[in-house]
Amino acid sequence: MSVKILHAADFHLDSPFEALPEELATVRRREQRDLLERLADLTEQEDVQLVLLSGDLLDSGTSYYETQDVLFRAFSRMKAEIFISPGNHDFYSPKSPYAYVRFPENVHIFTSPLIGSVELTHLGCRVWGAGFNGQYSRPLLNGFVSPEDNIINMMVLHGDTGGGVYNHIREAEITASKLDYLALGHIHSFSGIRQAGKTTYAYPGCPEGRGFDETGEKGVIIGSVSKTDCDLRFMPLDGRKYRILPVDLTGADDALSAVTSSLPWNTERDICRLILRGTVDGVVDVGFIKDSLSGRFFHLTVQDATRPAYDIWAQSGDDTLRGIFLRSLKEKYDVADETEQNAIISAVRYGLSALDNAEEYAV
């Protein structure tokens, strides 16, 4: 006997999307809610019996009315049993949405940091879980061992196998648990399907990226779990993607043409950061490039990480205003990280242009 599951985590509904203009942030929050409807469609298409949501379904301890409405509507559409393990962002408290938002009867929320279970006799399985009661959590899995019986034992849990204060989960504890499947949340990239002893475990990652630290394919885990086998796969969800596109401008006569020719064709739905690299003469007009290409993206930022084709510090030893200006910035440059160095190089180039009353600095 096996159970068909869908495992998802880290939706972070109602995220502020502070890096986007407010009108685009509003669009993104609406699209996050649409993910719930797509999840309901997927459970129907795949005949899912069990939905495991491993924490940070919400981004904080508050939520918009529209989100609460979609949660109830989407969960009501699902014929599956739904289990939620609150995480560090949406931890359970008497004031949290989990305490006052109306959920349909097929939704089970683990509100205690003590591991408990719900037995689903009609599915031949038992679902274990616990929830955060604050921003941080002690190790919750430590000492847990599932019963050795003929019932499929699964657990939904938010925690960090990498250590730290967000319910540190050690692989030895996963092995000792003797669970058939451990559905984890907290890490925002797909972990792959892993094994510790007889226990299969995985992080699905977030279902859709929210920043440039969450690039690439995002989705959920779907498949079947039995006492003897887990047949699980990662299923990407076709949502907006964050993409970082480096472009080398070395030798380019026209920066805009070089950038345009290097772009992939399918970027209209993407939130993209162009990183301009290579060695160039003069100053790259980042604003012009951004304005010229913004229509090809949902949102675009452009970062200038180019280097001058000449020794920009060559005159730093001169006893002139130019030399004083260069020396002061070189001292900062020598102790800066890469991001700060890029900003300092831009400041030097624009500063030298200003000293020469030139449109761009040229040697």
Q: How many angstroms separate the CA atoms of 259 and 272, rounded?
A: 13
CA triplet 142, 147, 151: central angle to 5 degrees?
130
φ, ψ at 69 (rounded to 5°) = -65, -45
Q: What tens digit of pLDDT does each residue of 109-129 get?
A: 999 999 999 999 999 999 999
Q: How many angstroms separate the CA atoms of 228 and 166, rounded?
A: 31
Instruction: Report the predicted TM-score, pTM, of the whole model to 2 decimal places.
Output: 0.86
* 45 three-class SS: helix
Task: Give yes or no for residue 363 having a pLDDT over 50.
Answer: no
Task: Give yes or no for residue 361 having a pLDDT over 50.
Answer: no
pLDDT grade, residue 312 (50/70/90)?
Answer: confident
Q: What is the pLDDT, as a whole number, of residue 362? A: 40
Do residues 71 and 27 touch, judged by C-beta distance below 8 A? no
Task: Transcribe 225-239 into DSSP letters.
Answer: EESS-EEEEEEE---
Q: Which residue has the higher pLDDT, 358 or 238?
A: 238
In eight-state DSSP terms, residue 244 is E
| Tokens representing residue 37 in the block | 């409807």
Query: Mean pLDDT, to the nearest integer, of 61-81?
Result: 96
Element (H, E) at 74: helix 65-77
| Tokens representing residue 325 in the block | 């200006």
Q: What tens digit of pLDDT does each residue of 261-286 get?
A: 999 988 999 999 999 999 988 778 99
pLDDT grade, residue 143 (50/70/90)?
Answer: very high
* Percent of the chain at pLDDT exceeding 70: 98
Averaged confidence pLDDT in the chain: 94
